Amino acid sequence: MIVLCTYPLAGTSADRIFDVARTHQLTIAMRNGNWDVLETPKLKQAKIELKQLNEELEQRIVERTAELGTANEHLRREMAERKRTEEALQKSEEELRTLFAAMTDVVLVLDADGRYIKIAPTNPLNLYQPSEELIGKKIDEILPAEDSDKIIHQIKRSLESRQSINFEYKLNIGEREVWFDGTVSPLTENTVFWFARDITERKRSEEAQKKLEEQFLRAQKLESIGRLAGGVAHDFNNMLGVIIGYTEQALTELAPQDPVQKDLQEVMSAAKRSVDLVRQLLAFARRQVVSPVVLDLNDTLESMLKMLRRLIGEDIDLVWMPGHKLWKVMIDPSQVDQLLANLMVNARDAIAGVGKVIIHTDNVTLDEAFCAEHADCVPGDYVLLSISDSGTGMDEKTLANIFEPFFTTKEAGNGTGLGLSTVYGIVKQNDGFIDVDSEPGRGTIFRIYIPRFEAASVESPVEQTAIIPRGGTETILIVEDEESVLKLGRMLLERLGYTVLAARKPSEAIRLAEAHAEAHAGAIDLLITDVVMPEMNGRELIDRIAAVCPRIKSLYMSGYTADVIAHRGVLRQGVHFIQKPFTKTVLAQKVREALEQESGTDEKEK
């Protein structure tokens, strides 16, 4: 290749031209008086290829740019998703922390050996939350072997079965007995998730409910026994009335030196003891005759202290703790005597030696919460009488039966088993309730709650002087469905000088009254009638006979008490009543009281 250059070229040199010429195949020609470089086919091909390469490069750039945009968009979305995930995770963690912070349950991760792996940070108020310092330690290093063995046993059961296990268990934490509801679930091959909830309050509620149900069943049982005892006592009273009446009459007719006198005295003594026994049964059945008055329990107890100290003996210290400004109660004073005497004897026998008895009174207001745990309780104001002793105490089995008639833990011949039954009946008859706490070796405390009396004013009962029994000449109609009692009543009344008409049925009594009224211008002065009889009750009978004999007086008799009969709607409050069995003296006194009552008062009762 030859390069001809006849003139200098601006901006280059011959060396530069040679360099170009050496690397390119060029054609140099004179064109219009000018030298020009002409392209060869090879150069053209190179340009074409270069152009193609440029186009391919541009296409690749476009494609790569598109790919990069797609990748950037994917990356942007991925970053946005990751951000949302991180935010959700953070929110979830916050919610979980909040949840744990609110929980009062124990949440743990333990291994198969009972080693603490993880302790969730629950509510700081949780008294039983394990410290994080326990991580790495085993349960048997923290809890007694008896407790830790139970927990490790449940862990192994869950891991072996690969199932969740729920169970209740009890731990002694400090001085408290704490119940937990635990759930253990397998987490990995060698770890479990442990969730434990404090259910101590629930257990206490269940125990209280169980106790309440037992109290209710016991009350039902005592109510049934009371009805049975009352029915037996009623029938027994009729028989005792006949025994006492005829024995008393025989004693009056025999000469004092008659040898039979002594035998009859024994009969009378046994009969009177039987009457006392029946009265205790009636007290338990809430069917004894009572004369309630408004009184201050402190004053009543003060007057009894000397007698109570003699009753329990010198070896037992009696402590009297009267409440301040005690509310009034309405109760028969003789029932207070019975209550105290029976409870003090019970305390004395429980101590059996040297000890202490504390009598305490107080004003208490019982709310719904308290009454929810005591079957016989009604919310309101009460006067509390508590008697505690330092005796041997009672177990649960004994406590469940102490108020049943004839139940006793004493040796044969040392008690009838009616003392606490009498106490129970008296308390119930006065709309109160009784609560007992006792443990073997820790003594016993009886708490008696008597309703507060809140009437503005009450007339004090008028003391009556003893009336010397005497008879009379009036005409008396006696109605009694028990023939032996009817015969006895007729005999006693006739011996007292009265003219007596006797009937076994109300219909017979009405016929006698009508016939006597027609023959004697209505001159029947007194009707003595049993309360509960066939055909009609005593009140209905007196109403029927009053139509024939308008000025007739009435005296009701029954083996049941006046209060119980009144509550049944049979006997009007305030009318004359005599309870079977009765003596000739009592009958004579009650008859005179009824006959000598002013007519106006009797008319009001009708």
Comparing 51-55, 184-188, 228-232, 335-339, which segment has the lowest mean pLDDT? Answer: 228-232
Q: Are residues 428 and 337 located together in one domain of the fold?
A: yes
Q: Which residue, 416, 451, 486, sits at the end of a domain?
A: 451
Q: Are residues 429 and 299 located together in one domain of the fold?
A: yes
Residue 279: pLDDT band (50, 70, 90) is low
Structure-token pair, residue 483: 């023939």
Residue 218 has pLDDT above 80, yes or no: no
Residue 222: pLDDT band (50, 70, 90) is low
The total number of residues shown for the chain amounts to 606
Number of domains composing the chain: 3
More confident residue, 394 or 215: 394
CATH code of residue 172: 3.30.450.20
ω into residue 581 within 30 of 0, thus cis?
yes
List of residues 6+ apart from 200 with CB closer than 8 A: 176, 177, 178, 179
**pTM exceeding the 0.75 threshold for the entire prediction:** no
What b-and-e string marks burial along 44-69, b requiring 16 or more CB atoms within 10 Å of the CB? eeeeeeeeeeeeeeeeeeeeeeeeee
More confident residue, 399 or 177: 177
Residue 417: pLDDT band (50, 70, 90) is low
Integer Cα distance of 62 and 194 in angstroms? 60
Work out the average pLDDT over 210-238: 64
Residue 604: pLDDT band (50, 70, 90) is very low
Q: Are residues 480 and 580 located together in one domain of the fold?
A: yes
Place of tokens 């016939």: 515
CATH code of residue 545: 3.40.50.2300
Q: Is position 430 within any domain?
A: yes
Work out the average pLDDT over 207-225: 66
Q: Is position 458 within any domain?
A: no
Residue 383: pLDDT band (50, 70, 90) is very high
Mean pLDDT, all residues of the chain: 77
pLDDT score recorded for residue 363: 93
Q: Is position 33 within any domain?
A: no
pLDDT score recorded for residue 449: 92
Residue 266 has pLDDT above 80, yes or no: yes
Q: Are residues 307 and 381 located together in one domain of the fold?
A: yes
Residue 84 has pLDDT above 80, yes or no: yes
Q: Is position 63 within any domain?
A: no
Backbone angles phi, psi at 91, to 5 degrees: -65, -40
Q: Residue 35 in 3-state DSSP?
A: strand
Integer Cα distance of 139 and 167 in angstroms? 18
Integer Cα distance of 28 and 5 in angstroms? 10
Q: Are residues 387 and 346 located together in one domain of the fold?
A: yes
Q: Are residues 447 and 510 located together in one domain of the fold?
A: no
Instruction: Identify the domain containing residue 494 by its residue range.
Output: 475-596
Q: Are residues 444 and 297 located together in one domain of the fold?
A: yes
Q: Where are the beta strands (DSSP E) in 24-84?
A: 27-31, 34-38
Residue 146: pLDDT band (50, 70, 90) is confident
pLDDT score recorded for residue 536: 85
Integer Cα distance of 238 and 412 in angstroms? 29
Q: Is position 386 within any domain?
A: yes
Integer Cα distance of 54 and 62 in angstroms? 12
Residue 360: pLDDT band (50, 70, 90) is very high
The DSSP code sequence of 311-345 is HH-TTEEEEEEPPTTPPPEEE-HHHHHHHHHHHHH
Q: Are residues 424 and 517 located together in one domain of the fold?
A: no
Q: Residue 72 is which amino acid?
A: N
Residue 131 has pLDDT above 70, yes or no: no
More confident residue, 188 or 397: 188
